Amino acid sequence: LPQDYVNYVRISYYRDGVLYPMTENIQTMWSSAYLQDNNAKILFDINGNVLKPENSQVDLSRQGGGMAKLYLGEGPFNNCMGYCIDGCWYFERRIGDRFGLNTETANVNPVFTINKQEGAIYFSSDMSGKSVVLEYVSDGMKNGDNSQINVNKLFEEFIYAYIRYSLLNSKYGVQEYIVNRARKEKSALLRNAKLRLSNMHPGRLLMNMRGQDKWIK
C-alpha cells in the first residue's frame, strides 16, 4: 500500500486500454498469530503484552513464493459416480444444493483483499502478469512524518467545523442564526465523518444488493 493511503476508491486491472473494476473478497478474514510454548500456552513479555511472531506462516509462504491451497481435504465429488464426456466430468445433482449463483460473490473479474496490518493488497491468482490501477484517498503525508499525525484524515473537516462553532458560540455579539448555522454544519460533518470511518464502501453494498432480484426456489 502507498505510504499516504487512507482508503481505496476503486481498484481496477488494465487490459487493452480498458479499466475493468475489481471487487473485494469479503470472505477472507485476517487474524493475528501468537507465540506459544510446548503446552500451547500463549507467551507474554515482562510488561504483560502478548508476543507475536514477526511473520506468520501465511506471510512466510507468500514471501517464499508458495501457493496456498483452496481445498486442504478431499473434494466434494470424491468417490461419487459420474460421467466423463469429452474429458469433462459430470455428476448427478445432489439434494439440498444451492439453486443459482451466490450474487454476493458472483464476479467474472479478479478479486482482491486489503490487509492494512501488513500494508499489502492480495490479488487472486488470475491477476498474475496484469497491470493494476489503484485509486485511493490520500492523507497528504506521502513525504511527511507519520508520527506527527494526531487526527484521522477523514475527521479533518469536522474538526475545523467544531473549532469554528466553538469560537462563534463563545464570542459575544454574534447573531444567533450564525451560531445555529455553524452548529448544523458541525453536526452534519460529524455524521459524514462517522459514515466514512465505518468503511461502508459502495462496491461492497453493490455486491450485497445484487441478491434482491434472485429467485428463491
Instruction: Write down the pLDDT at residue 98.
Output: 55
Give 23-65 as a DSSP string.
Answer: EE-TT--------B-TTSPBPB-TTSPBP--SS-HHHHHHHTT
Degrees (nearest 5) of the Cα angle 93, 96, 68?
Answer: 80
Residue 192 placed within a domain: yes
**Residue 213, amino acid:** D
The pTM of this model reads: 0.49
Residue 177 placed within a domain: yes
Q: Measured on CA atoms in the order 45, 47, 48, 54, is the torsion positive or negative?
A: negative
The candidate with the shortest Cα–Cα distance to 137, out of 122, 152, 158, is: 152
| Grid coordinates belonging to 86 | 469429452
The HSE-up count of residue 155 (CA atoms within 13 Å, CB side) is 10
Residue 187 placed within a domain: yes
Task: Answer yes or no: are the C-beta atoms of 166 and 34 closer than 8 Å.
Answer: no
Residue 180 placed within a domain: yes
Distance between CA atoms of residues 64 and 91, nearest Å = 37
Residue 201 placed within a domain: yes
**Can you give the pLDDT of all 217 residues of the chain as single tens digits?**
787 787 888 888 888 888 888 888 877 666 677 888 888 888 888 888 888 877 666 666 656 655 454 444 455 556 666 777 787 777 666 555 555 666 666 777 888 888 877 788 888 888 888 889 998 887 766 666 666 666 667 778 888 898 998 988 888 888 888 889 999 999 999 888 888 777 777 777 777 676 666 666 5
Distance between CA atoms of residues 151 and 163, nearest Å = 14
Q: Which domain holds residue 191?
A: 151-211
Phi, psi of 146 (to 5 degrees): -65, -20
**Residue 132, beta-bridge partner list:** 13
The tally of domains found in the chain comes to 1
Give 151-210 as a DSSP string.
Answer: S-GGGHHHHHHHHHHHHHHHSTT--HHHHHHHHHHHHHHHHHHHHHHTT--HHHHHHHHG
Residue 185 placed within a domain: yes
Residue 162 placed within a domain: yes
Task: Answer yes or no: are the C-beta atoms of 136 and 6 closer than 8 Å.
Answer: yes
Residue 51 placed within a domain: no
